[in-house]
Amino acid sequence: MPRYPRADGRLDFKSLTLDEIEAEIAGLGSEKFRALTAYKWVWQRGARTFAEMKNIATPVRVAMDEKFYIGWLECEGVIESADGTTKFLWKTDDGYQIESVLIPDGDRLTLCVSSQVGCAMACTFCLTGDLGLKRHLRPSEIANQPLQIKAGLDTRITNVVMMGMGEPLHNFDNLVAALRTYLAEDALGFSHRKVTVSTVGLVPAMQKLAELLRVNLAVSLNATTEEQRRAVMPITRKHSMAELLEACRTLPIMQHKRITFEYVMMGGVNDSMDDAARLVDLMAGMKAKVNLIPYNENPSRDIRRPSDERVHDFQTFLVHRGVQCSVRSTRGIDISAACGQLGKADPRSATDWFSRNRTASPA
């Protein structure tokens, strides 16, 4: 794993697993115990310095401080939607902007997390694609998003979805390292049932992930023919839809989980009743659920959102033929939180949000 040393040689503590931290501090004495104590301070109590870890002997704390830094995302702003959706804008160490979106829905509080700055997949309908890939996020940056937001909440984040900026499986090693932190009981402690990785369909990485971790998988299908999918999702040239669906059928996680197929409905592109019929065929023999996402219109695309009636008919068609199918409600549209739409916010709004919701300071 990369250790992201700073100019002073110190390593990124939050990008390391517990085992790696233990190995790094070998020689300080009682490594295992010290590593675990510091790890819990950081991931469970949100410690930002080694100095505050009072139950670790001073010389060990000092030695750790010489060895590691504890990274933190600067919160540039928080924008709240009328529907309760909240978008967080973060600035990385090197000045890039990323975002996370918190979505309350009944008993659930779902956090949508970014995995890259920009994205290389170039799906024609997606605004994040316009940025191109600037860089992969580090494990620490992927895991700091829930950690820092949690600190400002009185309630628990119940679900995490890797559906923010970026293609998570394109940033495979860092994603896996971050997910280990999400799932570790001594770190963020999310259940694997509550964590979902969404992908355009990087087939080999999907298979590798399924071997390593038991998280949920969502696949952005968005089309019902090869030709249609190639036109909107260039990745189809590398991995055909047939290859992708075959891989989904044979993934080991199919034994105990359903794969979610996201289907962005674009007016006149993939929303015909013929599409619905083909989608039913594609889902045959698949332990799947389909999540229809009516396209969120934006000024830089000439793509139309289908009528509510069309979305409803499409859904009904699938359900009547035994395909589990839900419609994703559009949330946060008034704050451009709905899909990869970058926004600007006043940094003071971050201070407001974090102090209103509790005591933790954002930066």
Nearest-approach distance from CB 178 to ligand SAH, in angstroms: 14
Residues 148-177 within binding reach of ligand SAH (CB under 6 A): 163, 167
24 or 262, CB closer to ligand SAH?
Answer: 262
The size of the interface with ligand SAH (CB under 6 A), counted in residues, is 17
Contact between 336 and ligand SAH (CB under 6 A)? no
Contact between 125 and ligand SAH (CB under 6 A)? yes
Contact between 12 and ligand SAH (CB under 6 A)? no
Contact between 220 and ligand SAH (CB under 6 A)? yes
**For the chain, what is the HEC assignment?**
CCCCCCCCCCEEHHHCCHHHHHHHCCCCCCHHHHHHHHHHHHHHCCCCCCCCCCCCCHHHHHHHHHHEECCCCEEEEEEECCCCCEEEEEECCCCCEEEEEEEEECCEEEEECCCEEECCCCCCCCCHHHHCEEEECCHHHHHHHHHHHHCCCCCCCCEEEECCCCCHHHHHHHHHHHHHHHHCCCCCCCCHHHEEEEECCCHHHHHHHHHHCCCEEEEECCCCCHHHHHHHCHHHHCCCHHHHHHHHHHCHHHHCCCEEEEEEECCCCCCCHHHHHHHHHHCCCCCEEEEEEECCCCCCCCCCCCCHHHHHHHHHHHHHCCCEEEECCCCCHHHCCCCCCCCCCCHHHHHHHHHHHCCCCCC
Contact between 222 and ligand SAH (CB under 6 A)? yes
Among 92, 159, 296, 315, binds ligand SAH (CB under 6 A): 296
Please choose, out of 2-10, 253-261, 269-277, 292-300, the segment that lies near ligand SAH by the rule CB under 6 A.
Answer: 292-300
21 or 235, CB closer to ligand SAH?
Answer: 235
Contact between 295 and ligand SAH (CB under 6 A)? yes
Among 99, 141, 262, 271, binds ligand SAH (CB under 6 A): 262
Among 174, 198, 216, 336, binds ligand SAH (CB under 6 A): 198
Among 126, 149, 245, 337, binds ligand SAH (CB under 6 A): 126
Contact between 264 and ligand SAH (CB under 6 A)? yes
Spot the catalytic one: 75, 112, 325, 339. Answer: 339
Nearest-approach distance from CB 154 to ligand SAH, in angstroms: 28
Contacts with ligand SAH, residue ranges (CB under 6 A): 121, 125-126, 163, 167, 198-200, 220, 222, 262, 264, 293, 295-296, 339-340
Annotated catalytic residues are: 99, 339
